[in-house]
Structure 1
Amino acid sequence: MNMNWIEIGDISDIPLRGARCVKTPQGKIAVFRTAENEVFAIEDHCPHKGGPLSQGIVHGAAVTCPLHNWVISLETGKALGADEGSVRTIPVRNEDGVLSIRLDSLMMAAE
């Protein structure tokens, strides 16, 4: 399988406990940076009503949707607590501060 790693910028482009949105042919991807300097990438829409997760509040390894306060795990993409639903997680790598996402996983999920 071809590993389609696409460079998306530098870790310093994303504030601690913040996010940035990356547009791909398969949709928007939210890339998050936690307070611990970990980086995660998930689809940028809440499984509840499609809210923009990239505009949510990052806490620990989770994000709270700005629309209806659903909490989504950045590690698994699953809704936490009593809520049910999930978004796809996207492989992301950090090589000396340069961030890349792997688009082959999006291609497979979109088929």
Structure 2
Amino acid sequence: MEKEKEFYPVGALDEFLVQIGRVVEAGGRQIAVFRLSDGRVFAALNKNPHPKGGPLAEGIVSGHYLYDPLYDWKIDLTTGLVQAPDTGRAEMVPVKVEDGQVWIAAGALQPQ
């Protein structure tokens, strides 16, 4: 199986609280996982796209947006795009939920 199509488990869905970011360590990288109130799950590298950086997992989730408490940036979790007037993009990670388990794409776990 190609590495891009492989997924690895990072925890049971019930371990991810609704609207609260959670960091998982996988492949030496920190991944921020967000479970939305509508049941969807999104993941991103736990690195704020702001030039000064910072963790993403500490943001506040509302709908499908992540509100960054450090820089007051609004990030669309479906695309990773920072909303105007700010610009940038969070590095989103492919994630899926199967049989009550959250899975992260293997390609995202490669150290950079």
Question: Aligned-pair RMSD on alpha carbons?
Answer: 1.7
Distance 1:84 1:26, change over 3 A: farther
Q: Is the contact between residue 10 and residue 26 of structure 2 (CA under 8 Å) also seen in structure 1?
A: no
Q: Percent identity?
A: 35
Counterpart residue type for residue 21 of structure 2: A
Give the Å deviation of 1:24.
Answer: 3.0
Distance 1:26 1:83, change over 3 A: farther
Q: Which string of whole-angstrom CA distances, capped at 9 and with x for unpartnered residues, describes residues 60-84 of structure 1?
A: 1111112111111111111012111
Q: Greater relative contact order: 1 or 2 (C-alpha under 8 angstroms, separation 6 or more)?
A: 2
Q: 1:11 aligns with which of 10, 13, 20?
A: 13
Pairs aligned (count): 109
Runs of 4+ in 1 over 4 A off after TM superposition: none
Structure 2, gaps ≥5 residues long: none
Counterpart residue type for residue 87 of structure 1: A
Where 2:33 maps in the other structure, the secondary structure is strand
Equivalence map 1:1-111=2 (5 Å): 1-2=2-3, 3-25=5-27, 27-48=29-50, 49-107=52-110, 110=112
Give the Å deviation of 1:38.
Answer: 0.8
What's the TM-score, normalizing by structure 1? 0.87
Distance 1:25 1:98, change over 3 A: closer
Q: Is the contact between residue 53 and residue 66 of structure 1 (CA under 8 Å) also seen in structure 2?
A: no
Q: Is the contact between residue 58 and residue 64 of structure 1 (CA under 8 Å) also seen in structure 2?
A: yes
Whole-Å separation in 1 of the counterparts to 2:74 and 2:29: 21
